[in-house]
Structure 1
Amino acid sequence: MEPGVAYALAAAGIWGGWLFALKRYFDGVHAAVLTFFVNCSAIAWYVPFAAATRPGGLPALPPLDATAVAVFAATVVLGGAGFILSVYALGVGDVSYVAPIAKIVPVFVVPVEVFWLHASLEPTAVAGIAVATTAVYLANYEGGGVLEPLRRAASYRPAQLALLSAVLYAGSDVGRRLVLGDYTVPTRLWVPLFLAGIAAAVLPLALRRWPDGGVRPWLPVFLLAGAGVAVGEHVTALAFANASASVVSTLVNAQAIVAVLLGGLLLREPGLRRRLAAACLAVVGVGLIAA
């Protein structure tokens, strides 16, 4: 197995387990508080490792003009908002329901690239959007009329939050491509800066939603979760460094399948077969879009 493929599969397992952990272990913690402490923990784990494994320590930040700084800031804000909404979605819906919908991010990335970055739209991307849309339809199907799943997706709170988080993540992903590609920000520097930016952005909301009993009982869990996020970010970066983006994107988004299986088998969530089929369709759609 090629190293990039192995890293991508490992990342899918890590992020799928992370989605499950968000549902299973963080009930009662506000999304902003969770985001702040987990990101701070991930930085504390990641920075010493990144500095120790690169000669000369962390790389320097390249010169950025006003446009690059604005794109960087927008990428951070959109990524943080997308994560918070995904936590909200998991708080009110099953992980096996939310994951297939929240992982159709490329469906929204493609239109942004076409209309704003003037990218060409391949026939496979159109087919991928259709397949991923079918995944949302299947995840919402519970019998009834043909249009009932669409009405449910438009009115059901978990679906609304999952779709909106996918839209925000799409904007963040486009910004990430610009930051890492056009603006040449090194990956080992981008990861802690991105996590720190999100933590700073959500801090005012976290302070307003501080738990009445304090956060001390949650600190060990935050520390462990931060280690998982740090490993996930690093393994994902290794995957993109060792394999094509189309292959890595498809395999990493298989985290939806992992999350559906964990939610159905360990949390006894209903509709396992239907939601697993929806997750598989979402991954296939992502693969076609990335091809």
Structure 2
Amino acid sequence: MRQDPPPGAAPDWTIPQGFERYTEAEHAVWRTLYARQMKLLPGRAVPEFLEGAALLGMEEGIPDFRRLSDRLMALTGWQVVAVPGLVPDDMFFEHLANRRFVAGNFIRKPDELDYLEAPDVFHDVFGHVPLLAHKVFADYMQAYGKGGLRSMGFGALHKLARLYWYTVEFGLVQTGEGLRIYGAGILSSAGESRFALDSPSPNRLGFDLMRVMRTRYRIDAFQQTYFVIESFESLLQQTLETDFAPLYAALAALPDLAITDILPTDRVLTRGSQAQAA
């Protein structure tokens, strides 16, 4: 991808959201998606997500990032900034490390409700931002950004990307009431919100940092393996207490793992049939 900001973007790749340019039809798409997910997610999403969504008040239409950031800043010191699309890795980490979440400002078309190749404002804001109202998860996101900046000298960005994929995007957590969703890629998808918890197809494995960073992933289908954390506190603690330099060295000496591999050392919650992938 290009490394210099496109025309109209600031040096940090941010752009004006252009809130006043959204049409009523675009707001209607948001309301349709929001209502569908909020009907589906109680009992599936982690409670902290539902609490964050209620605190931020996003049900009326595409949120104005300025007002959303004001609410979020008061809660955890985060803000939401618009970008024109995917940004370079160093800029992405820089924003996270400074408690800025980057979000696209376009929304999918009415005929794209169930699948969109590029993440839009619904995925970015509805899927990610409610959990940024939760202090521990907000701290994890900042720690990930700082770790990303440090990782750039180790040639291991693809390993660190797997941690983001299997936690921030497609993570599950074990609660006293059972498995719950916290990954934004699941939370923003009606189909995967059902699949991740109900389907016998995927593996569901206990989270292990090195294991996750060895595991490949695919972006074009429902997940074949989900990793389950014990709590946000344990995820943050592992991230803050791990010295990633020797971890990257150890990972470099180990082969990558296929998406469906199950190791003798894995804590297996569900051994999936992989029927959906087949």
Question: In proportion to residue count, which structure has more strand?
Answer: 2
Question: In proportion to residue count, which structure has more helix?
Answer: 1
TM beyond 0.5: no
Higher relative contact order (CA 8 A, sep 6+): 1
Q: With structure 2 as the length reference, what TM-score do the two structures score?
A: 0.29
Q: With structure 1 as the length reference, what TM-score do the two structures score?
A: 0.28
